[in-house]
A and B are shown apart, each in its own frame.
Chain A
């Protein structure tokens, strides 16, 4: 059985249909890119897989768990334990330094801070941002901020790495670096990687591509 199974999922916002019966499966440890124009429903699908919202109908199961049957508390636990989110806007908290930002998921989940810190330091060294850890986000460049964001997403060793336009704010050089980083880290953490983008240069790094249009998957 696939790691992520999406069955006939529909999502309606007010009267607008964001997803029109999407059915797709994602294998454990694989890497996927979902392409599509703005408003095609790709981000909505990503957020539903990430447990950030509930579908209007259909079923999504991750690792055998039906997300729509989970209560608020269990869904929050799922997001904390299973999922690493990387957003287009890194959104690091300006009132905290980068290390505290990295430790945020561990603090929220009541996890072992020392372990999360140790992994954070290792990843920071690996990504070349050790010098940024004591700094506040506004003191960093866009590329550095996105690296810190990636470290935060990986700090609890998620099994599912969901990225919504992760390079949307970066120049082409940094974009290439970050995409390669995500792919290699996903391999290192044995995580399933799903990247949503409308950027062809990012999409070309992935073998498994899905294309969405008008709330449906039109090509696999």
Chain B
């Protein structure tokens, strides 16, 4: 009860209230900077995983011996493993040519319905249609309806040793969210590609999801990846060494590990910002202690123990901490909005893989940042209060009442 009286006294004048607001803003901003950085790192990993999954599903299986008949063996194995969402794909490399510009691309022959179930990409293809990644379309300056030519490396049937050339029309542009995928991926109907390559009904890649529930992945992509690892371990025993199983993040696993390491070290380094802002709090404690010295000594004379006065200070510090954390949440939301919506924050995708960033924070991130800021705030305030309380009541009264 008395804490509120003490608080009323502490914050009774406008100057102190303004100082307190300034301290809260400073502290909140420093917390927000740390949260923002951790959130960007997490957001980067999360966006990268979502983007990678968009073109591969949870994992891919390919044979060490090239094309294979999916229906005769592997499909059965997937059914035994209770995998219901899969898509068989023909994947090859080739060149896309348009107006004398050519670029090496990954050509994916897909069956639209099953591919949509696995990746979520709704690609509408007809015979002689192709869909390009968005960056590839930009690079070639082509749009829907434009003709392009694909050069396949499998050899011309009439003139051995030369690539075979086929003409197609662009029926759409797709965005994966991963720059490299958007620059190098091209989709075509599987049966068309099988015919063009002369591989009959055989395929060379299977994409699949370990769960039919898309939300399970979206709710926690990192946790979901652990489940994928388990399934891969299971497959290793069941489908034999003829097949290679890869999780969707395999190509970028080094980058993901690097981001995690970076997140850890940046979090430690950014503690300095919190400590600097806590010196503002310290200045506030010293200022208030000087300003309210008479009252504090009077309270002691009237029977308030040093312990109770410290509790009153800690009550005030708690309010500053809670207000700062709440304000930091607002700052983080504002910062996230800016990252997502403002063109200034767009990333060069060729450098950073992703074109856009967003802040992605979970309860653990919030807890750890808030608790560490709490620890620093209370440690420094406590030391300051212990040092300031060395003066006896009598000395204080004599000084203040003189």
In the complex, the answer to whether B12 meets A108 with C-beta atoms within 8 Å is no
Whether a CB of chain B sits under 8 angstroms from the CB of A79 is: yes
**Chain B residues within 8 Å of A95, by CB:** 8-9, 12-13
Asked if B92 is an interface residue, CB under 8 A from chain A, the answer is no
A residues near B (Cβ < 8 Å) are 13, 43-44, 47-48, 50, 52-54, 72-73, 75-81, 83, 85, 87-89, 91, 93, 95-96, 104-105, 107-110
Cβ contacts A to B, 17 pairs, < 8 Å? A43-B398, A47-B393, A47-B397, A52-B393, A53-B393, A54-B392, A75-B305, A76-B300, A76-B304, A81-B303, A85-B302, A87-B401, A95-B12, A96-B9, A104-B5, A108-B299, A110-B1
Tell me whether B303 and A44 are in contact (CB under 8 A): no
Identify which of A73, A77, A88, A107 contacts B2 (C-beta below 8 A).
A107
Q: Contacts A47-B394, A52-B394 given: A85-B305 contact, CB under 8 Å?
A: no
Central interface residue in A77, A83, A93, by most chain B CB within 10 Å: A93
A80 and B300 CA atoms in complex are apart in Å by: 9
B contact residues, range = 20 to 34
10 closest Cβ pairs, A-B complex: A80-B303, A76-B305, A53-B394, A95-B12, A52-B393, A79-B303, A47-B394, A52-B394, A108-B304, A73-B305
Partner of B301, one of A85, A89, A93: A85
Interface contact A73-B307, CB-CB below 8 Å:
yes
Most buried by B among A53, A83, A88: A53
Asked whether B298 lies within 8 Å of A91 as measured between CB atoms, the reply is yes
Chain B residues packing against A (C-beta within 8 Å)? 1-2, 5, 8-9, 12-13, 294-295, 298-308, 392-395, 397-398, 401
List 10 other contacts, CB 8 Å, given A54-B392, A79-B300, A95-B9.
A43-B398, A48-B394, A53-B392, A75-B305, A76-B308, A93-B9, A95-B12, A95-B13, A104-B5, A108-B302
Q: Report if A89-B5 is in contact (Cβ < 8 Å); known contacts: A47-B394, A52-B393.
A: no
CB distance from A113 to the nearest CB of B (A): 9
A-chain residues with CB within 8 Å of residue B12 when the two chains form the complex: 95
